[in-house]
Amino acid sequence: MPPIPKANALKLGSTAREMGADVIRGLLEQNAAGRWTIGSIEVESLLSRHAGQELILAVAVIDRETAAAYVRTCRTCGHEYQGPTCPHCEAIRSRLRGPRSEG
């Protein structure tokens, strides 16, 4: 499996967490007892909490070489941009919402 950009992996994790999924992040290692861990969490114990339930398990290898900024294509307008949101669509949303008043 090829690694994915770190920003994409973090977005995947954030989206899953917002939807109520269990998300863990860390280095996958095998401890002295032969159990697989991610950080300090044993993968077996995480999975055992969901025994008998249908799951989707997503594994994303994070690319350590990818630079933080990369070009994305907006799924709404098709413009290319860098950063978390499309500036073209954000400008339109701001225009449609009108000036915001604090308070």
One domain for residues 47 and 4: yes
Confidence (pTM): 0.53
- 6 and 52, same structural domain? yes
From residue 77, give the alpha-carbon distance in Å to each of 12, 40, 48, 81, 96.
22, 42, 43, 11, 16
List, in order, residues 6 or more apart from 32 with CB less than 8 Å away. Answer: none
State whether 7 and 40 are in the same domain: yes
- For residue 69, is pLDDT > 80? no
- How many domains does the chain fold into? 2
Domain of 87? Answer: 71-103
Q: Are residues 17 and 54 in the same domain?
A: yes
Residue 64 tokens, joined: 């350590």
Q: What single DSSP character describes residue 61?
A: P
Judged by average pLDDT, the poorest of 5-9, 22-26, 46-50, 76-80 is 5-9
> Across the chain, what does the average pLDDT equal?
83
**pLDDT at residue 99, rounded to an integer:** 66
- What pLDDT digit, counting tens, does each position of 11-44 carry? 888 888 889 888 888 889 998 989 999 988 899 9
Does residue 44 share a domain with residue 12? yes
d(CA 83, CA 29) in angstroms, rounded, equals 32
